[in-house]
Homo-oligomer: A and B are copies of this chain.
Amino acid sequence: MPVLVVGSIGLDTVKTPLAEHADLLGGSASYAAVSASFFSGVNLVGIVGEDFPQPHVDFFGSRNIDLCGLQIAPGKTFRWSGEYHTDLNTRTTRSIELNVFEHFTPTLPASYNNTQYVLLANIAPSLQLHVLDQMTQPRFIIADTMDLWINIAKDDLIALLKRVDMLILNDGEARQFTGENSLIKAGKLIRALGPKYVAIKKGEHGCLLFGENAFFTCGAYPLEDIHDPTGAGDTFAGGLAGYLASLNHDEVTFEDLRKAVVYGSVLASYNVEAFSLERMRTLTPQDIVRRYEIIKAISHFEVLP
């Protein structure tokens, strides 16, 4: 089954302590869609300007990503520029040019309306809600978000939570959203606002998954070097959503989600090994299986005798 992915598509300029690259393929939907495409077909909804390089469009097309929902609008593509600090854990946004993204309304092609799996990648909650308004009862809806929306659109986000099955956010955002320092309490508080499942991403420390009377803690793949953390969260969400869509179970179970979280972690661990989506271009299904099995090997231990 395909997964609908809606979010931003942009051109990023990224500076790390070791290198700087300009006008890279970026945006939450780009990372999420390509990551999901390793497991399932993708219906992509996003907007780019007339300056968006054709090779990026061709790359999406080569990845089993349907492009009916990709709007090409007069004007320039959304641009973001950011700089990572020494430890790569913190970054500063240097500039944002919304360009065509400023007036983006995610309108779904008729062929997308009944997609069963939906990933609302990181964009304004009002746009995420607008997508849901156009859909006919999807089976499983996942929303990603970020600190910006918690700051400036918290009411919209709370409205969104009542309509999604799962929210994904990082540890800092979970604390910010709930005002609760304990991530365990934060995850439960967010679940109480609507979503049946909450995933809290912790970067190098892995991920926590909360369900009804269910909990899963997933360690991160032990990477020694990270070259560009941009898009790690989007890649995680895309891998998770794509894997669930590939299962096509009548109902998503907590067991499905445990595995989906591990797949999301695997995809993110590869993506941060290179700038932009470069690592995704050479990634193989065998690579994915290998790290999935490594995460199992490094996190399992024997039962009691």
Contact = CB atoms under 8 A, between A and B. Distances in A.
Given A217-B219, A220-B217, A222-B215, A259 B184 contact: no
Given A89-B181, A184-B223, 11 more contacts: A182-B226, A184-B222, A188-B224, A206-B217, A216-B298, A217-B298, A219-B219, A258-B302, A292-B304, A296-B303, A299-B299
A301 B224 contact: no
Interface in A283-305: 289, 292-293, 296, 298-304
Contacts of A299: 216-219, 299-300
Interface of A: 86-89, 181-185, 188, 202, 204-206, 208, 215-220, 222-226, 255, 258-259, 262, 289, 292-293, 296, 298-304
Nearest to A226: B182
B258 A301 contact: yes
A300 B182 CA distance: 22
Contacts of A181: 86-89
A219 B298 CA distance: 11
Contacts of A215: 222, 298
A123 B86 CA distance: 33
A266 to B, nearest CB: 11
Nearest to A205: B205
A182 B204 CA distance: 9
B304 A289 contact: yes
Contacts of A298: 215-217
A274 B81 CA distance: 47
Contacts of A262: 301
24 contacts: A87-B181, A88-B181, A182-B224, A184-B224, A202-B205, A205-B205, A208-B222, A215-B222, A215-B298, A216-B298, A216-B301, A217-B298, A217-B299, A218-B219, A218-B301, A255-B302, A258-B302, A259-B301, A259-B302, A262-B301, A289-B304, A292-B304, A293-B303, A299-B299
A228 to B, nearest CB: 15
Contacts of A255: 301-302
Most buried by B among A217, A225, A298: A217
Nearest to A260: B301
Nearest to A86: B181
B300 A300 contact: yes
A223 B181 CA distance: 12
Contact of A301 (B182, B205, B289, B296): B296
A18 to B, nearest CB: 13
